[in-house]
Amino acid sequence: MPRSAILLLAIILVLGFSAVSGCRSHHALTPQQAEGKHVYQVACAHCHEENDLRLKKVPPNLHNLFSRTTLPDGAPATDNQVKRVIMTGKGLMPPFQYQMTQAQLDAVLAYLHTGLR
């Protein structure tokens, strides 16, 4: 086999493995997403992740929230709808309109768009 054919085959194999292993590449969070992760961990995770309050009705899982077309309640999975739920509350979830600044809200949304990594 000629050397150029071997080199071409090696390149194809490397690119093929890169495509397979790179499907779920995790890039570093932006500063806004990192802030959103912090706010999420402080304000949201104790119910939506650990449920350490031992709530009888478990709050919805927010992983990959924006990859769905609808929110758990059937409303469209849009930034505006999620902002509304965070600010006004829903069911057992309290409103965060007085606990969260606009910058923190935007950061949480940016973090939710990462799928929660």
Asked if pLDDT for residue 86 goes beyond 60, the answer is: yes
Asked if pLDDT for residue 28 goes beyond 70, the answer is: yes
pLDDT digits (tens, 9 = 90+) for 59-77: 898 999 999 999 988 999 9
**Alpha-carbon span 112 to 108, nearest angstrom:** 6
CATH class, domain 30-112, is mainly alpha
Name the 3-class secondary structure at 82.
helix
pTM for the whole structure: 0.73
Q: How many CB atoms lie within 10 A of CB 41?
A: 12
Mean pLDDT of all residues in 98-105: 96
